[in-house]
Amino acid sequence: MSTAAGLFTPFPPFSPLPKPTPKLSTSFSLRLSSSTTSLRHRQPSPFSTFSILPGEDGGDINNNNNNNNNSGGGGGNHDNGKGNGGDENAGDKNKREAMIILAEAGRSMESLPKDLAAAIKSGKVPGSVIQKFLGLEKSGLMRWLMQFGGFKERLLADDLFLAKIGIECGVGIFAKTAAEYERRRENFFKELEIVFADVVMAIIADFMLVYLPAPTISLRPPLAVNAGVISKFFHGCPDNAFQFALHGTSYSLLQRLGAIMRNGAKLFAVGTTSSLVGTAATNALINARKAVDKSSVDEVENVPILSTSVAYGVYMAVSSNLRYQVLAGVIEQRMLEPLLHQHKLMLSAICFAVRTGNTYLGSLLWVDYARFVGIQKADEEENPVLE
C-alpha cells in the first residue's frame, strides 16, 4: 500500500492537512486514458520473430513498446529499467500502469498474491499482466492453479497454456502409437513390448515437455547476495530461449543459450526417470508373459533398462528440448499469437494441428535414434530381406 500512497500523495506527510483519500483527479484521468490505451492488447509484429533475440528489450508480451531505448547489449538487464539510458523510467511506468489497472478494478495490493504484489512494487510487470491476472482469476480452476507459482507464471504469459497441456497429453498416446506403427509396420505386434515402453515414456514426459519450455512471466524474488555466479546466471535466464522480454527487462544471447542448457538438463533428468519407469514396467510384463507362455521365452527379450534410460534422456535434452523451445517461443508466441490473438478458437485449432505434427515427428525421430544408437533392433535388421 505504500507504493499506492506514493503515487497518489503529491506532498510530504508533514502537511498539517489530513491526507486525502486517493482519487483519480482530472489531470490524472488524462494520463489514464493515454496509458490504458497502450495496454489494450497491442500485439507485436510477427515479422520481428528474430529481431530482438540478442538481448534487446522485447517489450511487454502483450504490448510491443517501440519507444524503448534499451541498447540490448547489457547481457540480460533485469533491473526493471532502473539502470541507465532510456530505460531509467521503465520500472516506474510499469508500476503506474499496474496501479491504474488495480484502481479501475477496485482492487488493492493486499488482495494480490505476495509475489505478484512484490513484482508490481519493484516495477517488474506492466499493467497488461495485471489485466490478464484479473481475467484469469474469474475462473475457479485458473484461480486454484495460480496458487502454484509455476502455473501462475505460465498462465500469465499464455492464457492457452492449460489447453496446450491437454492437447499434448491427449494427442500423445494416439500420435506416438501411430508413429510406432508407421516405422514398424508388420513388426508392430512382434515388438509390442518395445512399443509399450515408448508410449509409457512419452506419456510421462509429455506434461514436462509443455511445462518446462513454456514462456513465463517471472515473479521469482532475487537471489541472495552471496549466491554463486552460476546460480545468478541461470536465475536470470528466461524459461524459453525465444520468449519476449517484458518492458524494462532484456535477455542477452548468452542468457537465451543458458535457457536451452538449463531446460536440457531438466529434460535429461525427466527423460531418464520416465524411461526407467517405462522400461521397468515393460520388463515386468515381458517376464509375466514368459511365465504364462513358455513358447515366448526365446522370442521376447527384456529391454535394457540403463542404456535405454540414458539414451532417452539424451534424446529429450537435445531433440525434444530444441523442438519445444522453437514451438512455444517462436511458432506460437511470436507468430501465431500476434496474428490470431482476437480469434482464440482458431488459434487453439492451429496450435492443436502444430503440436500434433510435432508429437508425431518426435516419435519418428525417437525410433530412428533408438535404432541408430543400438538400443532397439528391428527384425528386418536382424534378418534382412532382399528387395
Q: The C-alpha cell of 158 is what?
A: 499464455
Q: Which pLDDT band holds residue 374 (cuts at 50, 70, 90)?
A: confident
Neighbouring C-beta atoms of residue 284, cutoff 10 Å = 11
161 closest CA partner among 116, 216, 218 = 216
* Residue 60 dihedral angles phi and psi, to the nearest 5°: -65, 145
Output the DSSP codes for 34-67. Answer: HHHHTTS-BPPPGGGTTTTTTT----BTTB--TT
Range of weakest confidence among 108-122, 225-239, 371-385? 371-385
Place of cell 496446450: 164
Cell numbers standing for residue 29: 484521468
| Residues 341, 322: Cα–Cα separation, whole Å | 25
User: Angle at CA 155, nearest 5°, toward 151 and 156?
Assistant: 120
Radius of gyration of the chain (CA): 25
**Alpha-carbon gap, residue 244 to 337, rounded angstroms:** 12
- Greater confidence (47 vs 312) lies with 312
Q: What local confidence, expressed as pLDDT, does residue 299 receive?
A: 61
More confident residue, 5 or 190: 190
Query: Which amino acid, residue 45?
Result: S
Q: Which of 5-9, 118-122, 256-260, 363-367 has the lowest mean pLDDT?
A: 5-9
Q: Cα(208)–Cα(165) distance, rounded to whole angstroms?
A: 9
Categorize the per-residue pLDDT at 84 as very low, low, confident or very high, splitting at 50, 70 and 90.
very low
The pLDDT value recorded for residue 226 is: 86
Q: Residue 42's beta-bridge partner residues?
A: 63
Per-residue confidence band for 86, with pLDDT thresholds at 50, 70 and 90:
very low
Q: CA triplet 186, 192, 193: central angle to 5 degrees?
A: 150
- Residue 169: CB atoms within 10 A of its CB come to 16
**pLDDT tens sequence across 215-224:** 999 998 888 8
Q: What is the mean pLDDT of residues 11-29?
A: 43
Contact 364, 179 (CB under 8 A): yes
Q: Which 3 state secondary structure label does DSSP give 226?
A: coil
Phi, psi dihedral angles at 22 (to 5 degrees): -55, 120
* Set of cell numbers at residue 309: 534410460
**CA 320, CA 330: separation in Å to the nearest integer?**
15
Here the cell at position 241 is 530461449
Q: Which three cell numbers stand for residue 366?
A: 525417437
Q: 3-class DSSP state for residue 91? A: helix
Residue pLDDT, tens place only, 222-240:
888 888 899 999 999 999 9
pTM: 0.71
Residue whose C-alpha cell reads 539424451 in the numeric block = 314
DSSP element (H, E) containing 196? helix 192-211
pLDDT at residue 378 in the model: 59
Residue 337: CB atoms within 10 Å: 21
**Helix (H) and strand (E) counts in the chain:** 16, 0
Model pLDDT for residues 335-355, shown as the tens digit of each residue:
999 999 899 999 999 999 999
Q: What is the pLDDT of residue 50?
A: 41
Please, which pLDDT band fits residue 297 given cuts at 50, 70 and 90? Answer: low
Average pLDDT for the chain: 76
Q: How many alpha carbons fall within 13 Å on the CB side of residue 91?
A: 18
Higher pLDDT, 122 or 41: 122
Q: Where residue 164 falls among pLDDT bands split at 50, 70, 90?
A: very high
The grid coordinates listed for 267 are 529434460
Q: Say how many CA atoms lie within 13 Å of 53 toward its Cβ.
A: 17
